[in-house]
Amino acid sequence: MVPGAGPLNIMPKILDRCVRQLLAKGHSKAKAFAICTKSLQKSGNLKKGKATAKGKKRGKMTPAARAKDRAVKKRGGKKSDYTYRRKSNTVRKKK
**Tens of pLDDT, residues 9-32:** 578 999 999 999 999 999 999 999
Are 55 and 77 contained in the same domain? no
Are 20 and 52 contained in the same domain? yes
Are 44 and 78 contained in the same domain? no
DSSP state of 76: -
> Is the pTM above the cut of 0.75?
no
Number of domain units in the chain: 2
Cβ contact 28:36 at 8 Å: no
Please give the residue range of the domain that contains residue 21.
1-60
Are 66 and 55 contained in the same domain? no
Are 38 and 69 contained in the same domain? no
Rounded Cα–Cα distance for residues 58 and 12 (Å): 10
> Across-strand partners of 93?
82
Q: What is the DSSP string of 20-72?
A: HHHHHTT--HHHHHHHHHHHHHHTTSEETTEE-HHHHHHHHS-HHHHHHHHHH
Are 8 and 20 contained in the same domain? yes
Are 3 and 39 contained in the same domain? yes
Are 33 and 48 contained in the same domain? yes
**Tens of pLDDT, residues 44-74:** 999 998 999 999 999 899 989 999 999 999 9
Rounded Cα–Cα distance for residues 88 and 64 (Å): 11
Are 14 and 53 contained in the same domain? yes
Are 15 and 54 contained in the same domain? yes
Q: Compute φ and ψ for 44, nearest 5 degrees.
A: 85, 15
Overall residue count recorded for the chain in this entry: 95
